[in-house]
Amino acid sequence: MSWPLWEVFVRGKRGLNHVHVGSLHAPDAELALRHARDVYTRRNEGVSIWVVPAGAITASSPDEKDPFFAPSGDKVYRHPTFYVIPDDVPHL
């Protein structure tokens, strides 16, 4: 009997967003959190961990990569690139 797969997302102490760092096997969400802490964070205080059962994630298909993403490539008006960002705006 094998444990189900969980995907792990971690946000650092001063990090802004959760980042996917890897996956692991665990019997349930509670133990997935604890194992994620052991394997991926070394228990550094002040980090936030999300675990998600891998089955709950719907991914875009690599086969449909072109129809999915390519059409936006040549439409420059879709990209907010026509104004100057002030120097003191952080995180952009």
| Contacting positions for another protein (CB under 8 A) | 3, 10-15, 17, 19-22, 24-28, 30-31, 34-35, 38-45, 47
Going across the sheet that includes 48-53, the strands are 19-25, 5-11, 48-53
Please report how close the Cβ of residue 30 comes to another protein at its closest, in angstroms: 6
- Count how many Cα atoms sit within 13 Å of the Cα of residue 10 in the half-sphere of its side chain: 21
Return the number of the residue (29 or 71) whose C-beta is nearest another protein: 29
Burial degree of 32 (CB within 10 A; 0-12, 13-18, 19+): buried
Instruction: Measure CA 7 to chain center.
Output: 9
Please report how close the Cβ of residue 8 comes to another protein at its closest, in angstroms: 10
Please report how close the Cβ of residue 77 comes to another protein at its closest, in angstroms: 25
Return the number of the residue (55 or 71) whose C-beta is nearest another protein: 55
Return the number of the residue (14 or 79) whose C-beta is nearest another protein: 14
User: Residue 71 carries which DSSP code?
Assistant: G
